[in-house]
Amino acid sequence: MLDPLLATPAVLRLIDLAVEEDLGRGDITTEAVIGNAATATADLVAREPLVLAGLGVCTAVFQRVDQAITSSELAKDGDRVAAGTAVARYSGRAASILAAERTALNFVQRLSGIATMARAFVDAAGGSGLRIADTRKTTPGFRLLEKYAVRMGGASNHRFDLGSGVLIKDNHVAVAGGVGKAIEQTRGKAPHGLKIEVEVDSLAQFEEALATRADIILLDNFSPADVAKAVGLARQRSPRPLVEVSGGITLKQIPELAAAGVDIVSSGALTHSAPAMDLGLDIGLGDQKARI
């Protein structure tokens, strides 16, 4: 079942776009060969090891196509699943299951890809306090779902959008005339519930951010040595700001960053470059069982 808080109007509209694009002109082959009478049962099976995410969306697609399709979910989002594991079973009119199949799979494969990559990053951080966070580099229209998949992989969310967080970047700094000025200007205007985060690209900027009491300081493309220095400086402040690192961070760098005492690593690759995981439907029509 799709969690009610994921079944927002925008997500339902995205599902509708997807159903319309694949099914909006009918399913010629199935109409010709299968007809409306046949029923089927289909198992959604992981074809490789993965962290599951999007099972509810997958179910929602089946039931959007045909509300008479019944589902039983055998695993839940966030589970690590071995190859060959059936994670859900769908039953109903064969024509409906075949019609919904591709769209349903396209969602769950993509979201599981994200959860699986997020989990790998989190695991690499080990027991350290390092938080792995996503970015706004998400598939257009998929942000709520992809940020959910990130959480299902054990990682954490950065701000949802431009209205739910303050992040002062280089252009803001340039216009304001310095890191400190930008921070002061924002503090007076942003909603009082938001911390002030600023992106810096040098230790000098970092120290200016410290001095004006930024809540979070994002190190953009710092060398490992400078990261270490920045963490050291931050720890001398009370209250101490959070130190975040970003910019093409790979899985391999995570342990070193964790060891350096960085608070947060944020990575766009989690959402923009995670390859789809392979899940498929094993469909049984009548007394046979075929793999699609």
């029509």: which residue's tokens? 285
The pattern of x and - marking residues 19 through 58 that bind a copy of itself according to CB under 8 A reads xxxxxxxxxxxxxxxx-x-x-x------------------
Interacting residue with a copy of itself among 39, 91, 128, 156 (CB under 8 A): 156
Interacting residue with a copy of itself among 59, 114, 120, 158 (CB under 8 A): 158
């699943």: which residue's tokens? 81
């803001």: which residue's tokens? 172
259 forms part of the interface with a copy of itself (CB under 8 A): no
**Partners of residue 73 on adjacent β-strands:** 88
**Partners of residue 279 on adjacent β-strands:** 46
Catalytic position from the list 80, 136, 169, 195: 169
Q: Report the distance separating Cα 117 and Cα 83, nearest Å.
A: 16
The pattern of x and - marking residues 106 through 135 that bind a copy of itself according to CB under 8 A reads xx-xx--x-----------------x-x--
Interacting residue with a copy of itself among 188, 223, 225, 252 (CB under 8 A): 188
137 forms part of the interface with a copy of itself (CB under 8 A): yes
Is 215 designated active site? Answer: no
Catalytic position from the list 73, 215, 220, 282: 220
Residue 184's SS3 state is: helix
Return the biggest CA–CA distance within the chain: 73
DSSP letters along 122-165, please? Answer: HHHHTTSSPEEE--S---TT-HHHHHHHHHHTT-B---SSTTS-
Contact 54, 146 (CB under 8 A): no
**Residue type at 29 in one-letter notation:** T
Catalytic position from the list 137, 151, 213, 229: 137
Binding segment for a copy of itself (CB under 8 A), chosen from 142-150, 204-212, 224-232, 251-259, is 142-150
Q: Report the distance separating Cα 239 and Cα 241, nearest Å.
A: 6
The token duo for 279 is: 């899940």
**Cis peptide bond prior to 191, omega within 30° of 0:** no
Is 31 designated active site? Answer: no
68 forms part of the interface with a copy of itself (CB under 8 A): yes
Residues that contact a copy of itself, how many (by CB under 8 A)? 113
Interacting residue with a copy of itself among 50, 70, 102, 258 (CB under 8 A): 102
Contacts of 126 (CB under 8 A, 6+ apart): 255, 258
Q: Report the distance separating Cα 111 and Cα 125, nearest Å.
A: 21
Is 161 designated active site? Answer: no
Is 146 designated active site? Answer: no
Interacting residue with a copy of itself among 78, 154, 165, 261 (CB under 8 A): 165
Is 169 designated active site? Answer: yes
Interacting residue with a copy of itself among 171, 223, 225, 252 (CB under 8 A): 171
Report, as residue numbers or ranges, the catalytic residues: 102, 137, 169, 199, 220
